[in-house]
Structure 1
Amino acid sequence: MSAVRAASKPAGVLAQLRRFVLVGGVAASVDYGSILVFIALWDWPELARALSFVCGSTTAYLLNRRWTFDSRRDTREVGLVAVAHTLSFLIVMVVNTLALRLFPDAWWTITVAWMLSQSMGTTFNFAVQRLVVFRR
C-alpha cells in the first residue's frame, strides 16, 4: 500500500478517539477559559456557560472536522453538526444548571458544574459525530 493511500485511509475508532481527546483538551481549554472571562465580566453563570459552550464547540468542530474525522464539509454534514451541537448544548445547559442549583455556593461550584456538564456533552458529542455526522 502506498504512503498516499495509507494517509487517506480512514482512521480507526481508537485513532479517532485519541485525536478527539486531544482536540477536546484544546477546545475544553477555550471553553473553560472563556467561562472564566465571561463570569469575570458579569455574574450570570448560565449565560457565561452558554457562550463558553459556543466558543469551545466552534473550536472543537473546526479541528475535529479536518483532523479527527478527516471530513470535507458538505451541506448534510453542516446540518447534522448543527443538530448534534444543539442537542449537546441542551445536555450541557441542563447538567450545568442542575449542578449550580444542587451544589453549595462555593468557590469551586462553577468549576465542578462546568466539568460535569462538559463530560456529559463530550461523551454525547463523540458518539454522535462518530456514528452519524462523520460516518463513512
Structure 2
Amino acid sequence: MAPELPFDDQEASTNLPLATQIFRFVVTGVGSGILDFGLTAILQYALGMPAGFAKAIGFVCGTTTAYIFNRRWTFRAEPSMARFVAVAVLYCVTFVVNVGVYTYLSHLWPETVLYSLLGYVIAQGLATIINFIVQRTVIFNIK
C-alpha cells in the first residue's frame, strides 16, 4: 500500500504493513515535533518560561496532535475508551521521560537554542521509540 495523505476514506484497520505504519508514524512525528519544539522554544526564549514548564506545554500540544493523527491515519483504529485509557497511561510515562530528559540536559548544557534543540532531539527520540513500540504492539491492538 502506497503512503497517502492523512485524510483518506478507507475503513479503519490495524492490518497495515509495518513499513507503512513506520512511514506514517515518522511523518506524524515530524509534524508534531515541529509543533512541540516550536512552542517550547517560543515559551522558553521569547516569553522567558522555565525550560521544564515550556517543554511540558509543548509536549502536551505535540503529543495530542500526534495521537489524533496516529489513531486515524497511522494505525487506522476506531476510537475506544480502553484505548484512550491506555494512551493516557503511555503518555504519562513518555511525558516523564521526555520532559525529565529535556530538563536534565537543560541543566547540564548552556541555555541556548542549539543545545535546547539537541536536548529536544535526545528526549524526543527516547519517547518516540517507547511510543511506537507500545502503540503498535499494545494500544492499537485493543478492540
Both proteins in one fold, TM over 0.5: yes
Higher fraction of helix: 1
Residues 98, 124 of structure 2: 8 Å contact kept: yes
Post-superposition shift, 1:7? 8.5
Matched, 1:33 2:38: yes
Structure 2 Cα separation of the partners of residues 115 and 35 of structure 1? 13
Cα RMSD for the two superposed structures: 2.0
**Within the alignment, does 1:47 sit opposite 2:87 as a pair?**
no
Cα shift at 1:13: 1.4
Question: Structure 1 residues 72 and 99, CA, compared in 2 at 3 Å: closer, same or farther?
Answer: same
TM-score (norm 2): 0.85
Find the counterpart in structure 2 of residue 92 from structure 1: 98
Q: Tell me which of 104, 107, 112 is aligned to 1:101.
A: 107
1:17, distance to aligned residue in structure 2 (A): 0.6
- My pick for the range that moved more, 9-18 or 50-59, is 9-18
- 1:132 Cα shift? 1.0
Extract unaligned runs of 5+ from structure 1: none
Residue segments in structure 2 that go unaligned for 5+ positions in a row = 1-9
Identity across aligned pairs (percent)?
33
SS at match of 1:134: helix
| TM-score relative to the length of structure 1 | 0.89
